[in-house]
Structure 1
Amino acid sequence: MNEQIVRALQAVTAERAGDAVLSVRGLSVRFRLRGGRSVAAVTGADFDLAAGECLALVGESGCGKSVLASALLGLLPGNAETSGSALLTGAGPGSGEAALELLAADERTLARTVRGRRVGLVPQSPAAHLTAVRTVRDHLEETVRALTNTPRRGRRAAAEAAAERAAFPAGHLDRYPHELSGGLAQRAATALALIGDAPLLLADEPTTGLDRELVDRTADELRRHVDEGKALLLITHDLAAARRVADRVAVMYAGRIVEIAPAARFFGSPGPRHPYARGLLDALPEREFTPIPGLPPELSDLPPGCAFAPRCPRADEACAVRPTFLAGRACHHPWGSERA
């Protein structure tokens, strides 16, 4: 736990020194539907991510985590509308990289200068990002060629080194995507994302399909990437993986970030303050193993006040008004208040 506290203090120090790699302000995403209707998938997301820091974005499926990541890289479908700001400021002081507003960047800019080079991506569905007629080795060597200055004779070794970092077995490098299990495809995608040593890495559920040993190994490799001075936005429902790698934790519910806290405090004492975040931890087998009652609301039918109120044991009439995000959480009755 002391190591997590040190990480959190380092992250705060880095942000105060202007070492942010990504600054997100008011990021919102709406999907246009038939009949003129629209659904808000992400609303008013605000956070900074510093070099040498991992921010874990956690929450139940469908809360908007992956939509947020896709918005940053311009990978949303055509019926999506984004607003707000997502400023990619570079790799830190002295990097020489010009700041770029990701939400305003055109596809040519994103494809040629951002994806893979300034922002690496471990996609949620890796099989969809692998070309069916090329082996894993082909994918890796082509990525080495495109993103690095490695000479031709060194590309094979560089590809194998990337596979080893992601715990991808060397004996499977000459297999095609359809010959891979879900876990192997996930590790192949992680290897591809690590090749460019991008200043910012977006990892969307990078431990899906892996057993606990490989989850820990993948988390440790991502942590090494961060410790080398890179920034990592880790999107996950695996709280054990988040605890292993994160400096800070952002909790998302029904499209909104409802709490941001240092990982040491979130997973330790005094713990998270938002009742939903508390519920996520209490549902873990090693804790109370008590599930949160009810189901998340449909994004097309959110209540007018706090979206979590129908599931919250602390809710009262005040929760009919949507809470403002203050002091790291959005809640009228956070844990640690007089109602605790």
Structure 2
Amino acid sequence: MRGGRHVAAVTDATFDLAAGECLALVGESGCGKSVLASALLGLLPANAETSGAALLDGGPDLLTAGERTLARTVRGRRIGLVPQSPAAHLTPVRTVRAQVEETLRELTGVRGPAVRPAVQAAAGRAAFPDDHLDRYPHELSGGLAQRAATALALIGDAPLLLADEPTTGLDRELVERTVDELRRHTDGGRALLIITHDLAAAERIADRVAVMYAGRIVELTGADRFFGRPGPRHPYARGLLEALPEREFAPIPGMPPELGDLPQGCAFAARCPRADAQCGLQPPFERGVACHHASSDDIRRAEEHADA
């Protein structure tokens, strides 16, 4: 609720994520991606309401589990989090080294003489420099804070890692190094959900791509199809790719609707060149796409054109 108004931040989001798989969740700012991740960890505001179920390898329903269960058995141990705003998640009165040491003790049991090399190894996974370990969060740049948060998230080698915009503030070389390390997290049968605006990063490591628009997943498909041929089937997903500088560099016209004022039908209709009267109804999510015209001749021709 916001100002007495109901805000449907995420609606009917259904997906699975297999062990050893990376799923990239992409979409414009404000579409609900980070809200979805927060819901899985019980980090939503107190006035938020959730329904449905979120199950992790036979464990408790994450959406109904109490704070005690989430804090003791889920966060860090079964689900790791690279937060979107790392500076806000780091403890301001403790050095990075102290926070890494504490996390190592809690999640791996490392103590004594083994702590120092373990801290350096944990920092190295996220390319965090040793000579900054004794600094406090306020002494770090945005990129260094991001790397510190990534190092902390990787320590437990949790079965599921949620990485929310993990490349913010990093140059391209560090982006590639970071996402490659996140991809290595899936080695040994662990899963990764990466939430990102960086489609190049998603293309580098994702097995599948989920596209979110106005609180709904509108397409879920393999990364090879999404970034290659025949390309996305949903007009919004296709527009995201066409907006890239290395492609057509053509931005999607218009602005996404506010989540508190969504239309009855397809939320993308006002921006879609293919919209017609049928789009006044909410499209069902069928065969991995939520579009009334996903199987129509015009979409088929568009895909054939992309193949040419």
Cα deviations across residues 240-274 of structure 1 (Å, max 9, x unaligned)?
Answer: 00001100000000000000000011000000100
Residues 69-116 of structure 1: CA distance to partner in whole angstroms, max 9, x if unpaired? Answer: 000000001110011100111xxxxxxxx5211011000110011000
Which residue in 2 is equivalent to 1:161? 121
Q: CA deviation at 1:151?
A: 2.8
Q: Which residue of 1 aligns with 2:22?
A: 54
Contact kept? 1:116, 1:147, Cα under 8 Å: yes
Per the alignment, residue 33 of structure 1 pairs with: 2
Structure 1 contact 148–196 (Cα < 8 Å) conserved: yes
Pairing 1:337–2:276 present: no
Which of these residues, 247, 250, 262, is aligned with residue 302 of structure 1?
262
- Equivalent in the alignment of 1:269: 229
**1:2-53, Cα deviation, whole Å (9 max, x unpaired):** xxxxxxxxxxxxxxxxxxxxxxxxxxxxxx2333x31100001100011000
Alignment check: 8 A CA contact 1:33 1:79 kept: no
Tell me the residue number matched to 1:82: 50
**Matches of 1:226 and 1:120 in 2, distance apart?**
13
In 2, distance between residues paired with 1:173 and 1:192? 12
Letter in 2 for 1:33: R
For 2:166, the aligned partner's letter is P
Deviation at residue 170 of structure 1 after TM alignment: 1.2
SS at match of 1:261: strand
Q: Which residue of 1 aligns with 2:100?
A: 140
- Identity over the aligned pairs, expressed in percent? 77
Q: Does 2:20 align with 1:45?
A: no
Q: 1:70 aligns with which of 38, 50, 62?
A: 38
Superposition pairs for residues 230-269 of structure 1, below 5 Å? Answer: 230-269=190-229
1:151 to 98, 101, 111: 111
**Amino acid of the residue matched to residue 72 of structure 1?**
L
User: Quick one: which amino acid aligns to residue 263 of structure 1?
Assistant: A
Q: Which has the higher contact order (CA 8 A, sep 6+)?
A: 2
Calculate the TM-score normalised by the size of structure 2. 0.95
Q: How many residues align?
A: 299
Matched, 1:182 2:142: yes
Note the aligned Cα RMSD (angstroms): 1.0
Whole-angstrom CA distance in 2 between matches of 1:322 and 1:60: 20
Q: Secondary structure at the match of 1:223?
A: helix
Q: Tell me the equivalent position of 2:303.
A: none
| Structure 1 gap segments, 5+ residues each | 1-31, 90-97
Between 55-64 and 130-139, report the one with greater CA deviation: 130-139
The answer to whether the Cα contact below 8 Å between 1:53 and 1:226 also exists between their aligned partners in 2 is: yes
Deviation at 1:304, TM superposition (A): 1.2
When the two structures are superposed, what TM-score results if normalisation uses the length of structure 1? 0.86
- Unmatched 5+ stretches in structure 2: 300-308
Which residue of 150, 165, 169 maps to 1:205? Answer: 165
CA–CA distance in 2 between the matches of 1:112 and 1:235?
25
1:120 aligns with 2:80: yes
Question: How far apart in 1 are the matches of 2:65 and 2:45?
Answer: 16
Residue identity opposite 2:43 in structure 1:
L
Question: Which 4+ runs in 1 deviate beyond 4 A?
Answer: none
Matched, 1:292 2:267: no
For 1:193 and 1:140, locate their aligned partners in 2 and report how far apart those are by CA, in whole Å: 10
What displacement does 1:301 show?
Answer: 1.1
Query: Is the Cα–Cα contact under 8 Å of residues 122 and 189 in structure 1 kept in the other structure?
Result: yes
CA distance in 2: counterparts of 1:237 and 1:282, whole angstroms: 14
- Tell me which of 105, 109, 114 is aligned to 2:69: 109
Tell me the CA shift for residue 227 of structure 1: 2.4
- C-alpha separation in 1, matches of 2:141 and 2:238: 34
